[in-house]
Amino acid sequence: MTAVLVVVAFFCEYVDSSLGMGYGTTLTPILLLLGYPPIVVVPTILFSEFLSGLTAGAFHRGFGNISLRRGSRDRGIVLVLAGTGIVGTVFAVYTAVNIPKTVLTGYIGAMVLAMGILVFLFRKVGIRFSWPRIVALGVISAFNKGISGGGYGPLVVSGQVLSGHETRNAIASTSIAEGLICAVGLSLYLVLNGRTGWFAENWRFFLPIVGGAVAAAPIAAWTTRRVSERVDLRVVVAVVTCLLGGWTLWKTFA
């Protein structure tokens, strides 16, 4: 089973770090189907995405997919997305939202699908970069993640593209921002649920997943660089975003 966990985590993180989306969306249901309880799965996803996200960010920077120097646009975007995302995470922990889960999941799926369609339709249109759109994207995606925990990556990547940001930079920015958000979410989750001994209790489960995810990060960052030189990443992002949005809707209402 350990080998299975490594392989599954590697594959999910490879997709996520090369396209900026899909890790939690795909890995969470797989782990639940394998019989692991949510109290183990949720912090494992957060912990592994924290480490793999920052690892992927370091390699994205090394391969030239993002610039984090002071005053750069990429650095500003990461700070905006991470800041709004952390606020959304804290809000989710402390606030009870009395909205049916089906409604929330359906809302996220429809929004992600719509964003994918828009990216595809505007893939050949030159869009001027807009900071107000980035700020609005950060607030909306943080709200979505806060109330449902889903749809963050597809929404943030596609939203950045529609805000005029380069696709490979958007992918790298999302990996770093989500890694930072997951660190805060994990800390709050464990402390407020009285699970401070979680690491000692579940290391046999999370170590293979963390190992597989972190191992995939540099390969995924290299893939983003190479693919961006040969194909239009906006088309790839649009298709994958539509698939994830459609899959979410199908799971919710089928």
The predicted-structure confidence for 3-52, as pLDDT tens digits, reads as follows: 999 999 999 999 999 999 989 888 988 898 888 888 888 889 989 999 99
Tokens at 45, concatenated: 């996803």
Q: Are 62 and 47 in contact (CB under 8 A)?
A: no
Query: What pLDDT, in 10s, does the model give residues 163-204?
Result: 999 999 999 999 999 999 989 888 887 887 777 788 888 889
Burial string for 122-152 (b: 16+ CB within 10 Å, else e) reads eeeeeeeeeeebbbebbebbbebbbbbbbbb
Query: What pLDDT, in 10s, does the model give residues 95-138?
Result: 655 667 788 778 888 999 999 999 999 988 888 999 999 998 98
Predicted pLDDT of residue 243 = 93
pLDDT at 162 over 90: yes
Predicted pLDDT of residue 150 = 65
Tokens at 47, concatenated: 């912990």
Q: What is the C-alpha to C-alpha distance for residues 210 and 136, in angstroms, rounded to an integer? A: 32
Predicted pLDDT of residue 142 = 80
Predicted pLDDT of residue 94 = 67
* Ranges of each domain in the chain: 2-253
pTM of the model: 0.90
